[in-house]
Amino acid sequence: MNKSVWVILILLVLLVGGGWLIFNKDDSSGAKATGPIEIGFIGPLTGDAASLGAPSKAAVEVAVDEVNAAGGVGGRQLHVTYEDGQCNAQAATNAASKLINQGGVVAIIGGLCSTETAAFGPMAMQANIPVISYGSSAPSLSQMGALFSRDYPSDAGQGTFGAEYMYNALGARKVAVIYHISDYGTGIKNVFIERFKELGGEIVAEEGAEQTATDYRTQLTKIKAAKPDYIYSPLYPAGATAMFKQAKEMNIATKFLGGDALSDTKLQADVKSLGLNIMFTQIKSDIPAEFNSKIAAKTGGTQVPVYSATAYDVVYLLSNALKTADSGQALGTAIRATNYDGVSGHIQFDQNGDVAGSGYTVYKFENGSATLVE
Amino acid sequence: MDYLIHIGVLICISGILALSLNLVVGETGLVSVAHAAFYGIGAYVAALLLTKVGLNFFLAALVGMAFSGFAALAIGAVLARFKGDFYVLVSLGFNMIIYSIMVNWQSVTNGPLGISAIPRPAIFGYVFGTTGPYFLLAAIALALTYYFCVLLTQSSFGRVLHGIREDEEATSVFGYRTTHYKVLIYMISAMLAGLAGALFASYITFIDPSSFVISASIFILAIVILGGLSSHRGVVLGAAILIALPEALRFVGFPSEIAAQMRQLTYGLILILLMLYRPQGLLGKFKL
Amino acid sequence: MELAVQIGLNAVIAGAIYALVALGFNLIYSTARFFDVGYGALAVVGGYTMLYVYKTLELPFALAIVLAVTFAGALGWVIERFVYRPLRSQKASPTVLLVASIGVLTVVQATVAILFTSEFKTLSRDVGATRVFEIFGGVITEVQVIILFVALAIMSTLGLVLKYTLFGKAIRAIADDEEVARIVGIPSRRLIGIVFFIGSAIGAVAGIAVGFDTGLQPTVGLALLLGGVIAAIIGGVGNIWGGVAGAFLLAIIENVGVWTFSGEWKSTVAFAVLILVLLFKPRGLFEK
């Protein structure tokens, strides 16, 4: 028996050690000035959030190919190593540790989930590696440090905008909230409720559900009984599909306002026949149709989430910054100085590394897709 | 090199978890699937004390262990009334309840947004800031836990535990109050898990409830079963294998779309095959 | 009033699905005497097979149902034949079987996720076309009414079969004592295989019902299973009618819990009920 244990151990050591030797080779410092510039990417490539992570990865690949085809940065090519953060704290730190210590990267693009970024961020800060997230929206990330930036806005912005739009433009005074208990749903909901009460509105019901829940009936029953003017629904697409269907079945005619997760095109097509009145908020961006078809061609899918555009822009703003600084603090400062018009909109960072943002827009579900309201 | 040390730290933390769960599952024969809950309580209490109160890490870890222990006293007292399948199911239920509290008691735990900026341990002005020293700290903790578990199982207390495992009624006939022993070992085990949690929190510097779900408990149980029930060396080996394997797979490169599912599939197959052909695990001495 | 009616209807719908899961689970438990966690995965297999034959291949509804239910049943039989039967003949403890079935759940769930992705899918071809009935101000959809009647039909059939047929008597004999049953000439192995087929097929019906009513994800199996298991246990494990009563009771408590507290605590309420029932009525509320 003991023999097979040793065989397994030795195999493991060989596998890890061998991989380490192979991937560690290009770390020799002499080649650095002319060799490729190493960059890391972290996002959920597996698991439930992979449907968002995979198109983001594809967008980075497209952008890197374009930059390299145009001669790279100062004559050097960009080389990106893609690691899976699994939307999980421990996996994200493993990925970052490998990138920083084995990959010798000068910057990390990622993560997508706030959990990933919150977990590996401090490790990167400590190693003096700038991090640019393309999708993490938790407000607390603003305190990460001088080397952290994100071109995807904090939920604080979206929740505040949602509350103001609800109160001022839609004239709602009594609002019910149904949300997913997650960094995204809970985060947006907290900001929304705080701002909406500040404005003088009333929250008549506040109902949470697990992210994997498929039965929203009792929550909806309570909401229906509270007779709200509007229902605010920061939900993920899967749960939203089930929730909208059940709302329709329960004859809830109240209008919905959701967050940017409702920009999912499959959801819009799925709930088309329900005839509900659904709107959602999203960062103002004029993503050109040709960009979406370019990414869709790369992934072979049909859905291009907004994270693709922000991830694509990160590559360009990073390569601009790399023209003036090599690495470390200088690179971080150069990234913070970004002033760039990308596919996701105009990008400029404030003192916390949050994208100043060009504001938010509102879309409405119509005939299986979404149209701009304002 | 830092990467390998990072993996080493995680192996040490999982090793402590596996050693502590083995005291309950391997030495006493009680299959508890709630270990992630105690791991999480230790992590949360330590993280809150470190960030909100500014307590020293070593004190915070002790308090975290104490809280895990108290929770285990209450839960263990209820669990001691059950056997076999019901024991498994009720422990699962407690894991779910603790997880719900972590997610929903937002004013304290910050809910799904988690606690960030947890400081690294410091003693006499020295901070275990980088990976290398932290590995030393984690390795010392693992070694102490290992030594403690060896002593415990060789003591007369440990022999009573084995007695309960082999034949609880016979043991109680000899005048041992088996319920007390079962609750006590459950507490000790939970406190060690709390230690692992405190180490995890201050190492990653960020925690959220998703690290302490039921599937995390099943993962720890899988480590113990793979490594070998009632074998201290075995369960540490199990931790090393199950932590290092997915990292090794990073270098092999499964097509990324299915890699996570392939990992799950592998764990499932390992469980089935072990049960069929080697229910005591690689180095185990006891069959469930 | 309206509110109470709607909460009641929600509970009846949820209860019907729990009852289906509990029926199959109880049947398997009372003959094979272990907690078959893998059973949850077979409900998912039923749902996804339906998705494939009904939505992708666009076969007629009746044929699709027969195919999906038969496939899940057959898979249940195969798993019994190649995993549980060898374990039983090794005289493995119920805990070993439980751990193996956790492996089965993990493997099947991962396979489904690889084949169908982890995305949320619904079985209805046209989401908006469901007819809705109104009862005293509460609403219930056509699909839900059908589910309710299907559940009642399966319950009564199973109840009658177990009580009055030779097959039912043989099953009950095995449930009492497999050894004795075999000695008196009951082909227990073959019958247990059939029980797994029937149980899994009932589970598949539950999976299909969920797919039509709300929607499918590969991970839905565990949630379904836990609902069914808790229902079965508070009703009294192995007691067919008790399980059904337990299912509706659990659904009512859950929905009233969501109503009085909040949706976040739904699973906590379910487990708390389980633990309380086990503490005070260890053999279930509806003990025979």
CA B138 from chain centre, in angstroms, equals 14
Q: What is the pLDDT of residues C128-145, one digit of tens each?
A: 567 788 887 788 888 889
Q: What is the pLDDT of residues B215-228, one digit of tens each?
A: 889 889 989 988 98
Confidence bin at A25 (pLDDT 50/70/90): very low
Are B206 and A89 within 8 A, CB to CB?
Answer: yes
Q: Is residue C65 part of a domain?
A: yes
- Who among A54, A115, A123 is closest to B210 (CB)? A115
Degrees, nearest 5: CA angle A362-A365-A371: 55
Query: What is d(CA C228, CA C237) in angstroms, rounded to the nearest whole number?
Result: 11
Q: How far apart are the first and last CA of chain B?
A: 39
Q: What is the pLDDT of residues A306-364, one digit of tens each?
A: 888 899 999 999 998 998 888 888 999 899 988 888 888 888 898 888 887 768 889 99
Nearest to A46 by CA among A98, A92, A105, A104: A92
Tell me whether strands A131-133 and A107-109 are parallel, antiparallel or unpaired.
parallel
Mutual angle of helices A306-324 and A328-336, in 10-degree steps: 120
Helix (H, G, I), strand (E, B) or coil at C216: strand
Degrees, nearest 5: CA angle C236-C241-C244: 85
Nearest to C47 by CA among C157, C193, C201: C201
What integer best gives the mean pLDDT of chain A?
Answer: 85
Are C263 and A51 within 8 A, CB to CB?
Answer: no
Chain A 247-266, CB below 8 Å of chain B: which residues?
Answer: none
- Who among B86, B92, B265 is closest to C107 (CB)? B265
Confidence bin at B271 (pLDDT 50/70/90): confident
Mind listing the domains of chain A with CATH numbers?
Answer: 27-154+288-348 (3.40.50.2300), 156-285+360-372 (3.40.50.2300)
Q: Is residue B128 part of a domain?
A: yes
Nearest to A337 by CA among A171, A130, A65: A130
Centre a 10 Å sphere on the Cβ of residue A265 and count the other Cβ atoms it contains: 16
Q: Is residue C288 part of a domain?
A: no
Average pLDDT (A225-252) is: 89
CB B79 within 8 A of CB B37: no
Confidence bin at B25 (pLDDT 50/70/90): very high
Give A162 to chain B, closest Cα distance, Å. Answer: 20
Degrees, nearest 5: CA angle B35-B41-B47: 135
Q: Is residue C285 part of a domain?
A: no
Q: Count of A–C CB contacts within 8 Å?
A: 94
Residues of the domain holding C214? 2-280
Query: What is d(CA A223, CA A221) in angstroms, rounded to the nearest whole number?
Result: 5
Q: Is residue C287 part of a domain?
A: no
Which of A87, A88, A181 to mutate to test binding with chain B, by most B CBs within 10 Å of its CB? A181
Residues of B in contact with A15 (CB under 8 A): 248, 251-252
Q: Is residue C162 part of a domain?
A: yes
Residues of B in contact with C108 (CB under 8 A): 268
pLDDT score for A291: 85
Residues of A in contact with B6 (CB under 8 A): 93-94, 97, 101
CB C122 within 8 A of CB C128: no
Q: Is residue B261 part of a domain?
A: no
CB B19 within 8 A of CB B146: yes
Query: Which of B71-75, B269-273, C260-264 is modeled with the greatest confidence?
Result: B71-75
Q: Is B83 in the C-facing interface, judged by CB distances under 8 Å? A: no
Helix (H, G, I), strand (E, B) or coil at C99: helix
Q: Is C117 in the A-facing interface, judged by CB distances under 8 Å? A: yes
C253 pLDDT exceeds 70? Answer: yes
Confidence bin at A31 (pLDDT 50/70/90): very low
Q: What is the pLDDT of residues B174-189, one digit of tens each?
A: 888 999 999 999 999 9
Confidence bin at A29 (pLDDT 50/70/90): very low
What integer best gives the mean pLDDT of chain B?
Answer: 90
Q: Is A264 in the C-facing interface, judged by CB distances under 8 Å? A: no
Tokens of C38: 């893998």
pLDDT score for B267: 80
Q: Is C35 in the B-facing interface, judged by CB distances under 8 Å? A: yes
Counted domains in chain B: 1
pLDDT score for C129: 62
Q: Is residue B245 part of a domain?
A: no
Q: Is A32 in the C-facing interface, judged by CB distances under 8 Å? A: no
**φ and ψ of A279, to 5 deg:** -125, 160
Give A276 to chain B, closest Cα distance, Å. Answer: 30
What CATH number is attached to the domain comprising C111? 1.10.3470
Average pLDDT (C204-208) is: 94
Q: Is residue B265 part of a domain?
A: no
Residues of the domain holding B145? 2-211
Nearest to A156 by CA among A182, A180, A189, A133: A189
Confidence bin at A28 (pLDDT 50/70/90): very low
pLDDT score for C2: 75
Chain B's closest residue to A49, CA to CA, is B257
Q: Is residue B278 part of a domain?
A: no
- Whether a cis peptide bond, with omega within 30° of 0, leads into A111 is yes
Average pLDDT (A63-76) is: 90
C1 pLDDT exceeds 80? Answer: no
Sequence-distant (6+) residues with CB within 8 A of B248 are A12, A15, A16, A19
pLDDT score for A295: 85
pLDDT score for A1: 45
C216 pLDDT exceeds 90? Answer: no
DSSP C173-211: HHHH-HHHHHHTT--HHHHHHHHHHHHHHHHHHHHHHHH
ipTM: 0.86
Buried (b) or exposed (e) across A59-91, using 16+ Cβ within 10 A? Answer: bbbbbbeebbeeebbeebebbbbbbbbbbbbbb
Tokens of A99: 């990138």
pLDDT score for B53: 92
Nearest to A318 by CA among A141, A96, A127, A67: A67
pLDDT score for B259: 67
Residues of A in contact with B196 (CB under 8 A): none
Q: What is the pLDDT of residues C56-108, one digit of tens each?
A: 888 998 999 999 999 999 999 999 999 999 998 888 888 889 889 989 998 99
Counted domains in chain C: 1
pLDDT score for A124: 92
Q: Is A54 in the B-facing interface, judged by CB distances under 8 Å? A: yes
Q: Is residue B17 part of a domain?
A: yes
Average pLDDT (C25-38) is: 88
Q: Is residue C114 part of a domain?
A: yes
Degrees, nearest 5: CA angle A95-A97-A100: 110
pLDDT score for A17: 56
Q: Is C95 in the B-facing interface, judged by CB distances under 8 Å? A: yes
pLDDT score for A340: 87
Determine which of A47-51, A103-107, A222-226 has the lowest per-residue pLDDT on average: A47-51
Query: What is d(CA A93, CA B5) in angstroms, rounded to the nearest whole number?
Result: 12
Helix (H, G, I), strand (E, B) or coil at B207: strand
Confidence bin at A13 (pLDDT 50/70/90): low
Determine which of A8-17, A39-48, C224-233 has the lowest per-residue pLDDT on average: A8-17
Higher pLDDT, A94 or A29: A94
Are B111 and A115 within 8 A, CB to CB?
Answer: no
Q: What is the pLDDT of residues A169-208, one digit of tens each?
A: 999 999 999 999 888 888 899 999 999 999 999 999 999 9
Determine which of A132-136, B236-240, B261-265 has the lowest per-residue pLDDT on average: B261-265
A145 pLDDT exceeds 70? Answer: yes
Look at the block and give the residue holding tokens 């961006």: A285
What integer best gives the mean pLDDT of chain C?
Answer: 88
pLDDT score for A212: 78
C193 to A39, A247, C185: CA distances (angstroms): 56, 42, 16
